[in-house]
Each structure stands twice: as structure tokens, then as C-alpha cells.
Structure 1
Amino acid sequence: MISAKDIARAADLLHDVVAPTPLEYSRWLSELVGGDVFLKCENLQRTGSFKLRGAYVRMARLSKSERARGVVAASAGNHAQGVALAAQLLGIKATVFMPHGAPIPKEKATRAYGAEIRFVGTSIDDCLRAAREFEAETGAILIHPFDHPDIVVGQATVGLEIVEQCPQVRTVVVPTGGGGLIAGIAAAVQRDGMPIDVVGVQAAGAAAYPASLAAGEPIQLEHMSTMADGIAVGLPGKVPFEAIQQYVGEMRTVSEDSLSKALLLVLERAKLLVEPAGAAAVAAVLDEPKRFKPPVVVVLSGGNIDPILLMRVIQHGMAAASRYLSLRVRIPDTPGGLATLLTQLAAMDANIIEVLHERISETLNLDEVEVALQLELRGEDHRDRVLASLTANGYTYTLN
């Protein structure tokens, strides 16, 4: 098991490599929870996530002969950047397998740190298989994203910083994929006389831990589907699994809607950019704020997101928060019919983003047309008022 001495040694090793990330007070989350909530901003870490910590510790402990063989890794992007930068700092050749469709900024940053990238499959599990084959063929050392003691103790330094920055912490909420981060944090925050509840959060479409913990051993997911590529891991690691069994009190799941709403709110309220995986812990707090005993530290695990995905997630988050509405409304095919509809929407303070006027459709009567609308609203109450107004004025509509 990971000891306090192990974590202290890792912290010493990382002293000149990573800077302690800020712990920011969150007023808006504190109001929801009913007590102090802080954001641990690993999205502001060098390379944009916590992954450099574990990768550097693992690679710095390689022997001279092992370093000469080079390293290989599998990652959707954050671990790739951590390995690539650690390799650059230590003078080691790095090859990284990434899934097809990996975020472009993560790919470009990994290349910029000097690593060679090879694309394979569509998931981390596909990349791990390819990396192991490469290891067997070339002798390169596999730097696993989460399933190695050195990786876990490196990530544990996040937990060490949390208890130093917030000694009174009672709950730590952590995004969870393979388990390296939460296992390290859970081991680091154990203290006599003041129990700390560590809660893991997984995307519902890629949640391997609930079934694995119930079975008492890592269980492979048959399929995964989530925007949170950073925590889309189908098989928990054996090394972190043991620590999670012992130290983690609960593993929760969050929906895609919750992830996108959390990302949007962190951007708006905390002025911080996170990726969907990095917003998972915030999503869990938003889903059930009274569940978490304050003071709460919520880990923002990463901030590397493709701008195109960011636009889609923001739009998704606005729709999930009832701030964006897409619908089709039937109106009479008479002069001024469209103007009347738009005037009524304006009177309800609905901001019209886009209008498409359709006259020809086999589903329309001869005396009517259909208008496709995209509206910006202020929230759920405003949405309900706008839809009620449409109905009261005789309009029929369908939601897209």
C-alpha cells in the first residue's frame, strides 16, 4: 500500500517540476452545498492536467539502461502530454498511442513536447493493447496512465497539497477514470482523528468502477459512450483498485447533461476552462449538493479541450440548463404571420438566435407554414413561460 513516506518522496522529486495548483473558493457552489466549497485547479497545472505528476515520478525512477530503451504510453491526450513533457525533461524518447478522434489541441501539445504519436482504435483500451505490443516488440518501457505504484504516488501529491491548503477539509470529490488520481488522493488525505470522505465521480456512459467494486475485482466494460474522454476507461487498474477499495467511500456517476452543465457553470461562474472529464466532480455536486459534507474540495482534473468540442458542449450545457431552446412552430400562412410570432416571442424576452421559414412539407396543411426557431432563454422558469405563451396564443409546436 502507498505510505506517507512514498508520497513525501514523490513530492520531493516533483519539487522543481510542478507548481502547487491554486485552491479557489467557490461562492456559488458553497451556497448550494450550505458550507465552504473549494476548487482544486489541476486544470491550471503545467500541460493542463495532473498527469505530469505521475508520469514524471515513474520516468525519473527508471534506470539508465531503461531510459535508453525509450518509453511508450497510451492516452487520449492528458497522460500523453505528461509523458511527452517528462520525456523531454529527462532526455528520453517517447512514443504515444492515441485513439482516432483524440482532441486536436492534446495531439498538437504532445507533438510539441517531442513525442512521436501513433493513432490506433477508438478508446484508451485499444491504445493500451497497441502500447503493450510495442513494448514487447521494441523493449520500450510502458508508462501506464494509472496502473503503477509510481503513477499513483505521483498523483497523490495532489492530495498532499489539498490537506496543506485546506487543513479543515471533510470531503474531496474526484473525477475518476482508471483510478490513479483518486487512489493517490485518497491515500494522501488519510489522517487520524479527522476522517475525510473521498468520493469518486465517473461518467455514466463509462463507469467501470461501480460494477467492479461490487464484484470485488476490476471488471471490463463492454462499451463506453461519453464526451469525457479523459475518464473513459473500460477497465480499472489493479494498483489503484486496492487503494480505492480501502479508502474511497463512494463512487457516483453523472450524465452527459450534468457534465455539460457543470463545464458551462465553471466557465461562467469560476472563470475557469475545464474539459468534460475535469468537470465531473462539479457535476456530482450540482446533482446532489446536500450530499457532500463541507468543507468540500472539488478537483478540476484537466482543462485540455478542443475548441470545436467546447462550442458543442456549451450549447449542450445551455440546452440542459433550459437556456437554449430549439423548436418548430406551426403558424397560419397569411401575411404577417411570422412577424406576429416573432413579436410575441420578443415580448416574452426570448432572444431569437436563428429562424428558418419552411413552406413546403408533406406534413403541413395548405394554409400553414412551419418555423424552426433557436432561442436563448434565462432558465427553466423562462422556458416554461415561453412555451405556455405559445400554447395560450393558439400555436402548436414540437421540441427538437
Structure 2
Amino acid sequence: TTFAYQLKDREGLTFVHPYDDADVISGQGTIGIEMLEDAPQLETLIVPIGGGGLIGGIAVAARAMKNDIEVVGVQTRMFPSMHAELAGKEPGPLCGGQTIAEGIAVKQAGRLGFEIAKELVRDVLIVDEDDLEQAITLFCNVEKTVAEGAGAAGLAALLAHPQRFSGKKVGIVLCGGNIDSRLLASVLTRALVREKRIVSLRIIGDDRPGLLAVVSKVIGDLGGNILEVAHNRLALDVPAKGAEFDILMETRDSRHTQEIIDALVAAGYPPRTI
């Protein structure tokens, strides 16, 4: 930012701040207008906060149209800058880390947005990275919509604080889909692991011909899909005449996974989830 201002002064340019600018904030406020025109029954709006321009504009517009509407902000636990300042704390020392919500990873909110938030924003909620990943996954799988971490923060707040919004008509702002395809793939795969639809099992048994075939048959007969197999004879925590198998498999859901685990136990090959 310092360099940008120096360049502006040196070359006589016009600097347009991305969020701490009255015209930018006014333009972002049209989101609040459109939301209430489409759904005037809304009681609460949840808006991601980075620099504070988006929530500032939406809060001004929405409160002008419907004075009793509640405007709630959301930030990540790694960058709770507005949350901290509104609580009278210095935000800088609290901000830092690798968050999936890069678009709202701002160490200090703009002054205009902060002043508006003090007057018009009811609360600022904090979400964790798991909440953001779950929100991205739901947007993709349910809504068939690609959302970046910052864009999905509103839904993440609903997931993280369900009691806070219980019984209310809530509008959330999906404000970005700029997510790297590899990161999106990783988030979706991690969701399968979290839901136990992809699970890695470790089985220790005798190192004899046919053992892997028996274990594979138990899994296959119950409809499990084996993705990878690693066969380790040299692990020191395995008997010299034994072998260790790490099996990565895909199932329908956590109940299906447990059925396969129970069948392996019954067959004499109790697995350990890793």
C-alpha cells in the first residue's frame, strides 16, 4: 500500500482503495438492496469481513431499507481483525497463518468500514478452517456452485453457530469463486475422509499367500472399493513372520465403513483406522 501511494504521488495517478473508499463501499451496498428486493422477509444478513467495505456497504443499504434487520459479520480465526477491534483489542498480533479464506485475510479493516460496523453491525462471528471447508463442499455438492473460502464464509458461520440463527430468516452472501482447482479437489477429498467415505485401514496378519486376497474379498463382498494397498514386511512393530497392510478404501458412508470393519474383525483380521 505504501508503494502504491508513492507511485500515485510520483506519477499523478488516482488511487482507488479496494475497500476503504466511500464509492467502493456504496457500490457494494447494492448487494444488500438486491437481497431485500428479492426477499424482503429476511431478518438477518451474514456477510464476510476482510477490509470491511462489503459489510459496510450492505449494512448501510439494508438498514436504510429495513431498520430492524440484523447484520452479522464473519471472520476466520486466523484473521479476526474486525472482531478484535470492535472488542477494543489490537488486531495485528492476533492475525496470521495459512487460511483457506485468503480473500478476507486482512490484518486491519479499513477505517470507513470499521466506523460503519461500530454503528450498524450487530456481531462478528469467528469460524474455523473446518467450517470453511465444509461450506465449500456443500456449495459444490448441493448447490453445484464453486465458492472460494472467503466467499463461503457466510455459510460457514451458519454451520459453526446454528443456534445463533435458529428460527430466523437468514440471507448469506456468496461473494467469490476464485479457488484453485487443485485446492478445491483437496477440499472435496478431505470432506470424503471427514465423512468416513474414504478411510485407511491397517491390518497386521501372517505373511502367507492368499492373505491379501481374503481381506480384499471381505471388503469387496460388502461393496467397498479398494483405492490403494501398501504391503510392509519391514515394520519393527510387526512380528518377523507377519506383514502389515495399509488399505485405502472408498465406501458409501460411515455406517458402511463400520460394516466392513466389523466383517474384518469377524474374519479374524481386526483393522486399525489410520
TM-score with structure 2 length normalisation? 0.87
For the Cα contact (< 8 Å) 1:264–1:318, is it kept in 2? no
For the Cα contact (< 8 Å) 1:331–1:395, is it kept in 2? no
CA displacement at 1:344 relative to structure 2: 2.4
CA displacement at 1:213 relative to structure 2: 1.2
Which of these two proteins has the greater Rg computed from alpha carbons? 2
Residue 213 of structure 2 corresponds to residue 213 of structure 1: no
Amino acid at match of 1:252: L
* Residues 199-236 of structure 1, C-alpha deviations (whole Å, 9 max, x = no match): 212222222222211017x6224423201111111111
For the Cα contact (< 8 Å) 1:174–1:299, is it kept in 2? yes
Residue 235 to residue 359, structure 1, CA distance change in 2 (3 Å): same
Residue 270 of structure 2 corresponds to residue 395 of structure 1: yes
Give the alignment of 1:156-175 within 5 angstroms. 156-175=29-48
Give the alignment of 1:235-246 within 5 angstroms. 235-246=108-119
**Cα distance in 1, alignment partners of residues 149 and 213 from structure 2:** 40
Q: Which residue of 1 aligns with 2:154?
A: 281
Contiguous gaps of at least 5 residues in structure 1: 1-127
Residue 273 to residue 194, structure 1, CA distance change in 2 (3 Å): same
Match among 200, 203, 222 for residue 326 of structure 1? 200
CA displacement at 1:377 relative to structure 2: 3.2
CA displacement at 1:246 relative to structure 2: 1.4
* Residues 157-202 of structure 1, C-alpha deviations (whole Å, 9 max, x = no match): 1111111111111111122212111111111111577621212122
**Cα distance in 2, alignment partners of residues 317 and 133 from structure 1:** 45
For the Cα contact (< 8 Å) 1:209–1:236, is it kept in 2? yes
Residue 230 to residue 222, structure 1, CA distance change in 2 (3 Å): closer
CA displacement at 1:129 relative to structure 2: 4.3
**Cα distance in 2, alignment partners of residues 340 and 129 from structure 1:** 66
Match among 239, 242, 261 for residue 365 of structure 1? 239
Q: Which residue of 2 aligns with 1:312?
A: 186
**Residue 297 of structure 1 aligns to a residue in which SS?**
strand
CA displacement at 1:387 relative to structure 2: 4.5
For the Cα contact (< 8 Å) 1:261–1:318, is it kept in 2? no
CA displacement at 1:139 relative to structure 2: 3.7
Q: Which residue of 1 aligns with 2:229?
A: 355
Residue 273 to residue 192, structure 1, CA distance change in 2 (3 Å): closer
**Cα distance in 1, alignment partners of residues 218 and 211 from structure 2:** 11
For the Cα contact (< 8 Å) 1:159–1:189, is it kept in 2? yes
Residue 103 of structure 2 corresponds to residue 230 of structure 1: yes
Count residues in correspondence. 271
Give the alignment of 1:137-216 within 5 angstroms. 137-191=10-64, 195-215=68-88
Q: Which residue of 2 aligns with 1:345?
A: 219
**Residue 215 of structure 1 aligns to a residue in which SS?**
coil
**Residue 277 of structure 1 aligns to a residue in which SS?**
coil
Task: Kindly report the root-mean-square deviation, in angstroms, between the aligned alpha carbons of the 2 structures.
Answer: 2.4
